[in-house]
Amino acid sequence: MKNIVHINCQYYENKAFYEGGEAWKPKGGHKFQIEMDTDILMYCEDSTAIFSKMVEAHNTDLERFKYIDYEIIWQTPTVLGTVEDFLKINSELSETIA
């Protein structure tokens, strides 16, 4: 069965690149994705090594990615609501707090 797999990574920027040096700073997360038969993933001997190697292929002198983990997306997420719903509830909660 094919599913989307999210590969979670730490994103780093080289702040000294334009001065010809290296100063890697973590700048938050980055997510890659791959569509694959999850049976392959479940019975793989070392998915961490494979995903780490795949992620490294995207590294440059300016940015780097470090593999953290993966998540199989088993279903399409349910829509929680709209921005309007969010703002309405925020307004209602603000009135009860005041």
In tens, the pLDDT along 58-86 reads: 999 999 999 999 999 999 889 999 999 99
Give the per-residue pLDDT at 1: 82
In angstroms, the CA 20 to CA 86 distance is 46
Give the per-residue pLDDT at 89: 95
Give the per-residue pLDDT at 96: 74
Q: Note whether 36 and 3 are within 8 A (CB).
A: yes
pLDDT confidence band for 94 (50 / 70 / 90): confident
**38 is written with which tokens?**
């999850």
In angstroms, the CA 95 to CA 91 distance is 6
Please, is 65 exposed, middle or buried when counting C-beta atoms within 10 Å of its C-beta (0-12, 13-18, 19+)? buried
Task: Tell me which residue range forms the domain holding 91.
Answer: 2-97
Q: Note whether 32 and 5 are within 8 A (CB).
A: no
In tens, the pLDDT along 29-69 reads: 999 999 999 999 999 999 999 999 999 999 999 999 999 99
The answer on pLDDT for 92 being more than 70 is yes
In angstroms, the CA 28 to CA 6 distance is 16
Residue 21 DSSP symbol:
S
Q: How many domains does the chain have?
A: 1
Residue 79 DSSP symbol:
P
